[in-house]
């Protein structure tokens, strides 16, 4: 399913809180760069990484799993390999408020995307919100 620029714009403007799965403390890693960019743009970014759980990143405590996120989130941004996506989508579907599954550049999973869409979520595959925000002038 192809999303229009208007669809992506709507997703990015309605989203306030993002769980960033695969967050890295290494400031040169794409997940860190994108996470910090999103924070700088006013989004609340909750980092998810079991190896960094308990540390502070982006002004938030890193959680080990999506199920550890306290409070509702609007978007799950996935910085993991495509084979990890089905489990992440399953975990996201158990959370309150999730409206969007966003898979980063190079990340896609057709079956998981279908499952998320069937549950009423928007799905973006193989895109970066940092690039889309700049491209759309948001």
CATH H superfamily, domain 5-136: NAD(P)-binding Rossmann-like Domain (3.40.50.720)
User: Which stretches of the chain are assigned E, i.e. beta strand?
Assistant: 17-21, 44-48, 56-57, 60-61, 75-78, 100-103, 122-124
Rounded distance between C-alpha atoms, residue 58 and residue 40, angstroms? 9
What pLDDT shows up at residue 1? 63
What pLDDT shows up at residue 96? 86
Tens digits of pLDDT across the chain (138 residues): 678 999 999 999 999 999 999 999 999 999 999 999 999 999 999 999 999 999 999 999 999 999 999 889 999 999 999 999 999 999 999 998 999 999 999 999 999 999 999 999 999 999 999 999 999 999
Q: What is the pTM of this model?
A: 0.94
What pLDDT shows up at residue 31? 96
* Orientation angle between helical segments 129-136 and 30-40, nearest 10 degrees: 40
Domain locations in the chain as residue ranges:
5-136
């Amino acid at each position: 399913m192809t999303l229009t620029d208007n669809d992506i714009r709507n997703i990015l403007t309605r989203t306030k809180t993002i769980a960033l799965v695969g967050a890295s403390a290494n400031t040169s890693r794409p997940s860190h760069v994108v996470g910090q960019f999103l924070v700088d743009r006013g989004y609340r970014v909750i980092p998810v990484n079991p190896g960094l759980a308990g540390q502070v990143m982006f002004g938030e405590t890193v959680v080990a799993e999506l199920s550890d996120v306290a409070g509702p989130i609007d978007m799950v941004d996935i910085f993991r390999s495509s084979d990890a996506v089905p489990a992440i989508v399953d975990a996201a579907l158990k959370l309150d408020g999730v409206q969007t599954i966003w898979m980063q550049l190079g990340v896609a999973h057709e079956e998981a995307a279908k499952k998320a869409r069937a549950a009423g979520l928007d799905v973006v595959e193989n895109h970066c919100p940092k690039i889309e925000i700049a491209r759309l002038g948001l």
